[in-house]
Structure 1
Amino acid sequence: MAQLARCALLAGSALSLATPAFAALAQSFQPPTLTPESVSTNYTGPSNNTLQNTPLVPGKAFDRFIQIWFENTDYATAASSPVFQNITKQGILLSQYYAMTHPSEPNYIAVVGGDFFGQPSDDFRAIPQNISTVVDLLEDKNISWASYQESMPYDGCTLFNYTSFDYLTDNGTYTYYVRKHNPLIIFDSVSNVTDRALRIRNFNDFAVDLNASAMPQWSFITPNLVDDGHDTTIDFISDWITFWLMPLLEDDRFNNNRTIILLTFDETETYTINNQIYTLILGGGVPKDLIGTTDDTFYTHYSALSTVQANWRLGSLGRGDTNTTLNNVFEFVANATGWKNNGISGNSSAIPLLNLTGNIPGPLNGEFYVPFTAPNTSAVGAGGGPVFVAAGLNTSLTAAIVPAPVNLTASGGDTPWAANPGYDYPNGTKTFTNPPSQSSTSGSGKLVAPALAGLFAAFAMACML
């Protein structure tokens, strides 16, 4: 990843001593619903009817891929949990799986976009329409997909967060849902397209889809801020796994013999260690001879992209998902598809530092701002297909010629992509709550603030030199 390489030149320190900006709450787990298959008023939003999926597309190693993400937990902390110890016996432990950076949001962006684009924080971001995601790759092969966000108030919600009734204490309100843990909503190429936006669904939809045997082939699942451990502890996560996931592992509508479930965390809690996170592969699609084993291959969040690409022979995004250091395919899938991993495993010195925080240049970083660059169109991904290039993307602006970073924050500005586009779907159709001020450009993205036009013109000239 070119941005990771540049960071060493731009940062005086390899490590951030920052600590997470939250404190775990001593709360007792309370199920938000009677069963995982039940709808609940605690989820606030009604179901938007049953998901309509395309016909099943067989994969080389699996036909359904489910990701479930938890929050901010060191590897050793998860490994100390009796529930995690027990569930590990049912799958494959990926002992050298790493997040990409800190804090949370850039990791979520990376796992669907193949890059975190320098995002240094958990602040609001809206990535422009011509930046592609895994959705483009899936839809290109007619593979159904959806995202399920616990406590999100309605399908396609673009709000920064949402506060609802506090079902834990049965008193007052609590902010259970946050946009930063909902990766696809951050990309305009998904959230600004109504049919796509409404595939970002809440847990009442999950119950309806499950009961209708309408689970998609690719899904991303985010528990709410207490159930994912962000505001609580590993014990709270464990209680949620026992309540929600364990019964679903026995439900063929969720987990059949062609299903792979990736259970992982967004990042470590401790920023001063490398970003190793406890990660499991579960599901009926795990080869029987690998159940209860450990895979020491070096994996990252980009491996979740490259593994899906290899399985369905997809194209790639031409970003971190094609970086040969960072994109190892899960070993049993690599074996089934003929993909050759890079051989990095164990505690190899070849494993890069992946806990660099806030100082990676990119279009989402106001202090180290550079414009969006085109993907590497000559890259070879694990699926063997072509690099996806969205309509309107300036393919001439590449990482090799991108200008030096500019500190927009120092002059009181921010990255253009911090502006809220203003659209939302509270009633299942697109509405505008705040008319967007951004304008379009034929470059690598849209301009939000006209005052930045001169800055972008300077960038364009620099790129032509």
Structure 2
Amino acid sequence: MQAVSTLLLLLPTALAATAPTFKAPSAGPLVASPNYVGTSNSTLPKPTIVPGKHFDRFIQIWIENTDYASAASTAAFSDLAKQGIALNSYYAVTHPSQPNYLAAAGGDFWGLSDDNLYNIPSNISTIVDLLEEKNISWVSYQESMPTDGYAGFNFTSNNYLNSSAPPYTYYVRKHNPTIIYDSVAEVPSRAALHRNFNDFAADVNASALPQWVFITPNLVNDAHDTTIDFAGQWVDYFLLPLLNDTRFNDNKTLILLTFDETETYTVNNQIYSLLLGGAVPENLRGTTDNTYYTHYSSLSTVENNWSLGSLGRGDTNKTLNNVYSVVASTTGYVNNNITGAAIPFTNATGTIPGPLNAELYVPFTAPDVNAVGAGGGKVFVAPSLNVNFTAAAAPAPVNLTALGQTVPAAGPINGTSSGSGSAPAPTASGKSGAMRVEVAAAGILAALVGTAALFL
């Protein structure tokens, strides 16, 4: 243990002494490479285009853990802003990373305040349910993921940045939001739509890019294990050439480049975000939009554009779900005008009760089925959902840790088969939960050691 402590003390010095150097993982974003790990599993079929009111394709690209000012002052991002709309009042919804990704896919982060392994129960809906109701194609592209539909916690592969260093953990499940939901992961046809970057190259080259696209770079290219300048070099390598390729970006494509959260937890969670693509009118390129947005806005904007139903969660919260103004101006949607001191603080972590919060545990509850989202459609209700088990019907939050119990990884909507809302049966002195935390802690240590090995 003393050796581990010594290593942890030395790591910051070692990392500071050797700046990471960006190395392109491939000859180009549309060129297959063994650095992307898995080979392409052929291509997706060319999608049948479902026309939207403002855009026909929506692409999200997420970068990691950076304060607004740091990203805004980085050349790659400030230069990109000249080609699009800078969203100057965009906020993450909590800390750390994983709950923000969950929120963008499911409209809630379920009280989560860690990056451990979870499986959201199969009767909890996501954006996938809303898209498929309208036959809108979708896909998640994950850099350095080994195989289509991979549901593992992480994946370690050859270290392409330093061939003399040990293998490196480039891929993590926590940045792949839809696979964390069992309603997606347990349906083979849906799971298969989680594809790696060799698949991405094949799909774009075949003009087969779906209409809703979520893209996550690996842990070095997204700035998680490196720096914002490193991520900026990746943006120059990956995104800049694709902006000029009509198979990726045509005149009906809207691209959101955003961050999961701020690096600093003591400030409000303002993140740098840009809207790019052919769906941004020429007269708005190089401009700023000061409307208040959150990660729920990516849901409500998509719902508004395609007149979808909603999830009845954060995507219908009138404070948090503003639609991007460039889209709202086309559809006639009216946003709120929250500014300044009225903007809520969303930098807290672990303070929101939920089914993934061991200290403020409440079971999964039904969404607000009477909510009206920006798309105007009905709230999606899974067939096995107990719609009577609402937030009002749920018991007061309890501290499972104090009771020697652990958060269940998955289960019926309320953690029981009866719908009573009681807490799950305790595990053997909470050991399974403790072991999960210990494994996660070991993974953090391994990541730190691996980061050092990357650059030394």
Other structure's SS at 1:242 match: helix
Q: Deviation at 1:53?
A: 4.9
1:271 paired residue among 259, 265, 268: 265
Q: Deviation at 1:36?
A: 0.4
Change (3 A) 1:392 1:189: same
1:153 paired residue among 136, 146, 152: 146
Change (3 A) 1:339 1:39: same
Distance in 2 (CA, whole Å) between partners of 1:116 and 1:48 is: 32
Percentage of matched positions with identical amino acids: 63
Q: Deviation at 1:364?
A: 0.8
The equivalent of 1:441 in structure 2 is 417
Q: Deviation at 1:52?
A: 2.4
Query: Deviating runs (4+, > 3 A) in structure 1?
Result: 21-25, 442-447, 449-452
2:142 paired with 1:162: no
Distance in 1 (CA, whole Å) between partners of 2:43 and 2:420 is: 36
Change (3 A) 1:365 1:285: same
The equivalent of 1:98 in structure 2 is 91
Distance in 2 (CA, whole Å) between partners of 1:354 and 1:221 is: 24
CA RMSD after TM alignment: 2.1
| TM-score with structure 1 setting the length | 0.85
User: How far does the alpha carbon of each residue in 1:401-457 deviate from its partner, in whole angstroms, 9 at most, with x for none?
Assistant: 2211111122332210279xxxxxxxxxxxxxxxxxxx983649999x6558xxxxx
Residues 121 and 410 of structure 2 are in contact (CA less than 8 Å); yes or no, is this contact kept in structure 1?
no
1:42 paired residue among 13, 30, 35: 35
Distance in 1 (CA, whole Å) between partners of 2:103 and 2:360 is: 18
Distance in 1 (CA, whole Å) between partners of 2:418 and 2:28 is: 50
Q: Deviation at 1:54?
A: 4.0
Structure showing the higher helix proportion among its residues: 2
User: How far does the alpha carbon of each residue in 1:340-385 deviate from its partner, in whole angstroms, 9 at most, with x for none?
Assistant: 101113xx22110100111211001111110011010110100000
2:69 paired residue among 69, 76, 91: 76
Change (3 A) 1:446 1:392: farther
1:114 paired residue among 99, 107, 117: 107
Bigger Cα displacement from structure 2, 56-65 vs 34-43: 34-43
2:191 paired with 1:215: no
Q: Which runs of 5+ in 2 are unaligned?
A: 1-10, 428-456
Bigger Cα displacement from structure 2, 125-134 vs 358-367: 358-367
2:185 paired residue among 168, 183, 191: 191
Q: Deviation at 1:123?
A: 0.7
2:290 paired with 1:314: no
The equivalent of 1:394 in structure 2 is 386
1:379 paired residue among 371, 384, 395: 371
Aligned residues: 411
Change (3 A) 1:85 1:451: closer
Amino acid corresponding to residue 125 of structure 2 in structure 1: S
Distance in 2 (CA, whole Å) between partners of 1:400 and 1:363 is: 15
Distance in 1 (CA, whole Å) between partners of 2:152 and 2:418 is: 28
Residues 405 and 426 of structure 2 are in contact (CA less than 8 Å); yes or no, is this contact kept in structure 1?
no
Other structure's SS at 1:34 match: coil
Correspondence list, 1:30-429, <5 A: 30-171=23-164, 172-345=166-339, 348-417=340-409
The equivalent of 2:435 in structure 1 is none
Residues 300 and 315 of structure 2 are in contact (CA less than 8 Å); yes or no, is this contact kept in structure 1?
yes
| TM-score with structure 2 setting the length | 0.87
Distance in 2 (CA, whole Å) between partners of 1:146 and 1:377 is: 27
Other structure's SS at 2:402 match: helix
Change (3 A) 1:247 1:418: same
Amino acid corresponding to residue 103 of structure 1 in structure 2: P
Other structure's SS at 1:35 match: coil
Residues 104 and 296 of structure 2 are in contact (CA less than 8 Å); yes or no, is this contact kept in structure 1?
yes
Q: Deviation at 1:212?
A: 0.5
Q: Which runs of 5+ in 1 are unaligned?
A: 1-20, 420-438, 453-465
Residues 129 and 445 of structure 1 are in contact (CA less than 8 Å); yes or no, is this contact kept in structure 2?
no
Other structure's SS at 2:341 match: coil
Distance in 2 (CA, whole Å) between partners of 1:86 and 1:262 is: 15
Change (3 A) 1:139 1:79: same
Distance in 2 (CA, whole Å) between partners of 1:47 and 1:414 is: 39
Correspondence list, 1:10-21, <5 A: none
Residues 61 and 214 of structure 2 are in contact (CA less than 8 Å); yes or no, is this contact kept in structure 1?
yes
Q: Deviation at 1:174?
A: 0.5
Residues 47 and 208 of structure 2 are in contact (CA less than 8 Å); yes or no, is this contact kept in structure 1?
no
Distance in 1 (CA, whole Å) between partners of 2:358 and 2:210 is: 37
Distance in 2 (CA, whole Å) between partners of 1:99 and 1:443 is: 32
Other structure's SS at 2:148 match: coil
Residues 111 and 352 of structure 2 are in contact (CA less than 8 Å); yes or no, is this contact kept in structure 1?
yes
Q: Deviation at 1:287?
A: 1.2
User: How far does the alpha carbon of each residue in 1:146-169 deviate from its partner, in whole angstroms, 9 at most, with x for none?
Assistant: 000000111111111111100001
